[in-house]
Structure 1
Amino acid sequence: MDVRTPPAPAALMELTTGLWASQTLAAAEHLGLFTVLSRSGGASVAETAHRLGIEERPAEILLTACAALDLLSRDGGRYVNTPLAETYLVRGGQYYFGDYVRMLTEYVYPGWTRLADAIHANAPARVTTREQQEIFEATTRPKIFWDGLYPLSALTARALAEAVDLEDVTSVLDVGGGNAAFAIELCRFYPELRATVFDLPFVCRHTADRVADAGLSERVALHPGDFFADADLPGGHDAILLSMILHDWDEPRNAELLAKCHRALPSGGLLMISELLVDDDKTGPRDAALMSMNMLVGTWGRNYTVAEYRDWLAAAGFTGIRTVRFSAPGANGAVLARKP
């Protein structure tokens, strides 16, 4: 009989109950808990129940759980937001994550409940009979998808701007630039920079107001198009950005897109690929590996290694390939390359 002490199951329990934590956050956001506490300067259990229109029992349970998750702290008999919740979970904040939480709950999580189906079928679980391209149509990726990704993209853009020197870049083409978070943040960081968001027409319609609200309509242009259906990408830019784009697609489609980037850039032009990069030995890191699982659920792509990007970039004709590492919600680094 084996009498050795078994390993502690704490890590396994954390994995198996991960849904509990995410859905506690989703429920609190749905109720507007963090916004209510911010505006009132904190509240007791009874006050919270009254303001949220719920009974005291669920209010107490929810407040306790959010405190255990370090989203709230208790000051005497009143619960208040922690700095994390105050910064990211109060509606109207610059980097409000509530839309992202709702996007995951409404759009992403249903597919995750069918993850085993995606593994067996080697096909997305969120769509079954549509062609690959249709996952990017307005009817299948609603406005909440683009709004939800904004804070994640904006914070990632800030990290990219700090890690990659773009002082010599005058104009960047953000291919698949979606909600313009990267274009906006890069232009804020580099006052002389201009940017063009190239994305599907319905996405550009969603994005126009975002650019206007940022006061950057004169520096951030919107160019409707389809980076696969169109023969070429818009020219006239000395840098091209692919942020969280290539993980949506398989290797042949990525090779096709990289070839178009090469044609669109001038000699000496810079290509930036910002992604959660998988380790070359394919043992992690955790965020990149789990994002790859998310791609399995919803797309025909996955997250790729630096070695894979190097091979594809070299095949497309790029040189000077290097990797810059940073830490951000949507990327852990950027692969950079030049057109000779």
Structure 2
Amino acid sequence: MITPTPLMGLVTGFWSFKTFAAAVELGLFTRIAGGRVLTVQGACTEFGLPERPADLLLSACASLGLLERSGEGYRNTEVAEEFLVAGKPYYFGGQVRYCDERTYLPWHRIGEALRTDKPLTWDPQAKDSMFDGDDPEMLALFWEAMYSTSIFTARALTGAYDLSGQRRLLDVGGGAGAFSIELCRQNPDLRATIFDLPHVCAQAETKIASAELTGRVDTITGDFLGDPTLPGGYDTVLLSMILHDWDEPTNELILAKCLDALSPGGTIIISELLLDDDRSGPPAAALMGMNMLVETEGGKNYSGAEYREWLRRAGFADIRTVTFEGPGANGAVLGRKP
């Protein structure tokens, strides 16, 4: 019998996110790190909450798999201890905070974006793109969010595609450097260059130093849209979660620059949340496309077939797709420069 129960799950989806975001905002998981058990009364004292809200929050976080019962209280689950404790190497709280503070309220006006085809998180008449801004704190939060997502996506990519033969990688729009850092960790003979805007490269250099990869990962400042060319002489060019930000003509221009940056025989890697070729899913890719409506002027998520056709038109050969499961991508489209 068909029932509306699945629809109720869609209706209440934001309840889970806002519960999660509220717990991160309180610093709940950080405060009870290391196996500490927190009771309802302890939460009242520690966070200044009345008993009913404290009880409801702890119970809800347990239901979401973020806390687990331990005697009369709750403690972090393995995933919360690993990714939601501030200061840990793979802290995911930046992603939670960014979505909560930057995109959640604009998403309430999604109908406006559908009618106008204009972004909701920034004004195209005042800025060139979503990456230009006068709010250093929000920009830092954005790149921290991208780093926490990208580091495990890079790890998933290395499981699906063998980079052991590559020596020099150009990470176009590489952000804070998560992909370059992780790919170099997994491939000792690989050296990587992050090509991004000056203020982004400054953040990447901090991450590179923390990862003790100075000398193997470096940065070159530039604008992959505005600059006529990219740095050249690389055997691998990576576009990780870049092309979904732009429309088709812009992406074809980027791919032409990538072809020029590669040495003959070099490989391009386009790592993205790929739509199925019939554009019917999966949900993660399709809904990321909706988020591009909220955050970009022309961005959308594309299918593997679309990327393969663009690569063919750009002049690449031996084009293929590999699939994997990562928090920021589910596959990569590869092509070789003849």
State the TM-score, normalized to the length of structure 1: 0.95
Relative to structure 2, which stretch is displaced further, 54-63 or 155-164? 54-63
Q: Identify the match of residue 301 of structure 1 among 295, 299, 302.
A: 299
- The answer on whether the counterparts of 2:35 and 2:75 sit within 8 Å (CA) in structure 1 is no
SS of residue paired to 2:263: coil
2:16 to 17, 21, 28: 21
Partner of 1:93: 88
Alignment match, 2:324: 326
| CA distance in 2 between partners of 1:35 and 1:286 (Å) | 31
Select 1:114's aligned residue among 109, 120, 130. 109
- Deviation of 1:138 after TM superposition, in Å, equals 3.7
Give the 5 Å matches for 1:1-340.
Answer: 7-39=2-34, 41-130=36-125, 133-139=128-134, 142-299=139-296, 300-340=298-338
Work out the CA distance in 1 between the residues paired with 2:33 and 2:235. 44
Q: Is the 8 A contact 2:19 2:61 kept in 1?
A: yes
Decide whether aligned partners of structure 1 residues 313 and 132 sit closer, same or farther in structure 2, where only a CA change above 3 A counts.
Answer: farther
Whole-Å Cα distance in 1 between the matches of residues 127 and 255 of structure 2? 19
Q: What amino acid does structure 2 have at the position aligned with 1:153?
A: S
Q: CA-atom RMSD, angstroms? A: 1.4
C-alpha distance 12-143 of structure 1, shift in aligned 2 (>3 A): same
Cα deviation for residue 40 of structure 1 reads 5.9
- Structure 1 stretches of 5 or more lacking a match? none
Distance across 1 between alignment mates of 2:79 and 2:246 = 33
Write out per-residue CA displacement over residues 30-49 of structure 1, whole angstroms, 9 at most, x where no aligned residue. Answer: 11111122246111111122
Give distance in 2, aligned partners of 1:20 and 1:191: 44
Cα distance change on mapping 1:240 and 1:72 into 2, 3 Å: same
**Shift of residue 77, structure 1, vs aligned partner:** 0.5
User: How far apart, CA to CA, are the structure 2 residues paired with 1:174 and 1:310?
Assistant: 20
Quote how far apart the aligned CAs of 1:117 are: 0.9
Q: Secondary structure at the match of 2:220?
A: strand
Q: Deviations over 1:268-295 (max 9, x none)?
A: 0100000000011111001100111111
- CA deviation after TM superposition for structure 1 residue 311, in Å: 1.0
- Aligned partners of 1:240 and 1:101: how far apart in 2? 29
Separation in 1, partners of 2:324, 2:148: 17
Q: Which amino acid aligns with 2:62?
A: A
Query: Alignment partner of 1:262: what SS?
Result: helix
Distance 1:29 1:252 in 2: 39
Provide Cα deviations, 1:14-34, integer angstroms capped at 9, x if missing partner.
111111110000000011111
Asked if the contact 1:36–1:51 (Cα under 8 Å) also holds between the matched residues in 2, the reply is no
The answer (yes or no) to whether the contact 1:110–1:126 under 8 Å persists in 2 is no
CA distance in 2, matches of 1:277, 1:224: 28
Aligned-pair CA distance for 1:94: 2.0
Aligned residues of 2:292 and 2:300 also touching (Cα < 8 A): yes
**Contact kept in structure 1, 2:35 and 2:76, CA below 8 Å:** no
Give me the whole-angstrom Cα distance separating, in 2, the residues matched to 1:149 and 1:228: 20
Deviations 1:159-185 (A, max 9, x none): 111211111100100000001000000
| Structure 2 unpaired stretches of 5+ | none
Q: Deviation at 1:145?
A: 0.2
Percent same amino acid among aligned pairs?
51
The whole-number CA distance in structure 2 between the counterparts of 1:211 and 1:107 is: 26
Amino acid corresponding to residue 254 of structure 1 in structure 2: N
> Which deviates the most, 224-233 or 204-213?
204-213
Task: Return the alpha-carbon distance in structure 1 between the equivalents of residues 124 and 218 of structure 2.
Answer: 35
Q: 1:324 to 1:129 in 2, by over 3 A?
A: closer
Deviations 1:274-326 (A, max 9, x none): 00000111110011001111111111210001111111101100000000000
Measure, in 2, the Cα distance between the counterparts of 1:129 and 1:181. Answer: 28
Cα 1:253–1:232 change in 2 (3 A) is same
Moved more, 24-33 or 138-147: 138-147
Q: Which amino acid aligns with 1:323?
A: T
8 Å Cα contact 1:37-1:79 kept in structure 2: no
Q: Is the 1:327–1:333 Cα contact (8 Å) retained in structure 2?
A: yes
